[in-house]
Chain A
Amino acid sequence: MAEAALRVEGLSKAFGGLVASDRVSLDLRAGEIHALIGPNGAGKSTLIGQIAGWIRPDAGRVLLAGRDVTRLSPARRARLGLGRTFQVSTLALPLSARRNAMIGALARAGGAWGFVRPLMRERALTEAADAALARVGLAARADTPAAELSHGERRRLELACALAGAPRALLLDEPLAGMGPEGAAQMTELLDALRREVPILLVEHDMDAVFRLADRITVLAMGRVIAHGPPAAIRADAAVRATYLGQDDQPEAADV
């Protein structure tokens, strides 16, 4: 069996008395979208932070294509093929969409240690950036400063920045957040096609999108995995309905 693109084994993290991750294990396989859902405060962001390397776990391991990266910096993990987007935009707003995307390709195409040749003449960078922009439908906006892009376009530019680095696993932290129905549909379509190129670990609150996109779903509550399986099984899971999904269509459950 092929090695998982990303594997998390028994990750635990506590902040003081608050257990944010409690022995979480999951994996991400080639060709799939694996959705990570859970109510606010379930520990999704802490988990993503540990996978990407910003938060050091108390216990457990993170493996990228079989390699233990638990003690590596975010940049090292990125160089090993872990791409990500953030819940809150990290774009450089004064810079053009292309410049933002070019930074995404920097490490893959030789690193930061060039002092002479102008960036715009670095073919490897401009080509990687333009390809990534085209992939997310922003080719026409390449020269527009990120600050002048719409919210939906910025979310797609974030994705392009990650794609420019040719990742082998992608962490997307609420890529649909704050989007209108049109933008959400566009992003959903994009991600749907993208899974064939790179497996995606998707944190998302938009349940329509999650159930449309996910091949598998892991449900997190109080830092712990309470359910894991294909969408149909998650939809039918009693524990999940009680703690999370049920809140919407079964108002009486909340009163219990």
Chain B
Amino acid sequence: MAEDARDTRATLALLAALAAAAAGAHALGEPFYVNMAARVAILAMAAAGLNLALGFGGMVSFGHAAFFGLGGYAAGVAAWHAANQIPLASWPVLVPGTDRMIVVWAAAAATGGLAALLIGALSLRTSGVQFIMITLAFAQMFYYFAISWPAYGGEDGLPIYLRNGIEGLDVYDPFTFFAICFVWLAATLAGTARIMRARFGAALTMARLSEARLASAGVDPFPVRLTAFALSGAVTAVAGALNADLNGFVGPSALSWKMSGELMAFVILGGVGRLGGPVAGAAAFVLLEHFLGAATERWVLVFGALLLGVTLFARGGLLGLLAGRARHG
């Protein structure tokens, strides 16, 4: 498991760099850059969710924006109801809105996980290009639904005037909010590493590498994949909720296919199925967007070229370059 150890080291180094950057910016009194670090952490977490399905499970989902957006809307809708003091539901039990982050996260995870369970149950019967297209189609359904539902802003999206909070924490302090996002990211990566080293991870790996062998060993690949897909959706949804709180806004763009594509690009650029890959991919994206985006509108072209170069010449992605040598399994 030497590759594993190298992956872990590279991942820890990336996390340390991210935390150091945020702490440095905070010390220098640059909240803008602290928020940027929070954005990296959030996007990395969303992509880490996707990596569980795409990288470790071999399920190439082109619809993870559905979960990212659902998580965002869970945060936005809960906050809207709390702010307007309109209950979310009055039957069979009264469900009030909430502005407590912990409740919002649970709601986001449940919504995203459940949606992934349903989408997965239908689309995991296919594979390859069909799976890609079906996941895209489901995400588009959520997108158009959000656009055409005026109750929560429709096309204009839903502003969150008061950031959801946690008792005892000043969530308006950028560094505190970064720390929350960072803990989520670290927990996601630690959880992923843990699961992938356990029985479930072994079965998921085998479902990706040799489905017939797994079935012949007496383990049905389908429920293993479906569980991974649901977990993946739940993680990405929590990231979506954090993103809504960071921006004070959630809109249909969080559900768009462009978002799905970006998450996919983070995973691929960072290294498919590499633990810290999403961190590297999301950081590269946000850094290029900011520093190159200031110079030219065509910075996406550079990002595209980088993605192309890494896919063609560095098979382990950015994390592969950092950790050295391709992953085994």
Contact = CB atoms under 8 A, between A and B. Distances in A.
Interface residues of A, number: 44
Interface string B31-58: 0000000000000000000000000000
15 contacts: A52-B216, A54-B212, A73-B220, A75-B216, A75-B218, A78-B218, A79-B218, A93-B209, A94-B209, A103-B217, A114-B199, A119-B202, A120-B1, A122-B199, A161-B213
A181 interface: no
B198 A103 contact: no
A93 B227 CA distance: 24
B215 A78 contact: yes
B329 A94 contact: yes
Interface in A126-152: 145
B329 A111 contact: no
Contacts of B200: 112-115
A108 B218 contact: yes
Nearest to A77: B218
B209 A106 contact: no
A155 interface: no
Interface of B: 1, 194-195, 197-203, 205-206, 209-210, 212-221, 224, 327-329
Contacts of B216: 52, 74-75, 78, 83-84, 86, 90, 161-162
B210 A106 contact: no
Contacts of A104: 217
B300 to A, nearest CB: 34
A165 B218 contact: yes
A119 B193 CA distance: 12
8 A-B pairs with the lowest CB-CB distances in the bound complex, closest first: A107-B218, A114-B199, A78-B218, A112-B203, A92-B209, A79-B218, A94-B329, A90-B213
Interface string A88-102: 001111110001101
A95 B328 CA distance: 7
A75 B219 contact: yes
Given A106-B218, A161-B217, 4 more contacts: A90-B212, A107-B217, A118-B198, A122-B199
B218 A117 contact: no
A17 interface: no
A119 B199 contact: yes
Contacts of B327: 94
Given A114-B199, A116-B198, A103 B214 contact: yes
B328 A94 contact: yes
A92 B217 CA distance: 13
Contact of B217 (A73, A76, A116, A165): A165
B156 to A, nearest CB: 41
A215 B201 CA distance: 41
Q: Which of B209, B213, B217, B224 has the most CB of A within 10 A?
A: B217
Contacts of B215: 73-75, 78
A110 interface: yes
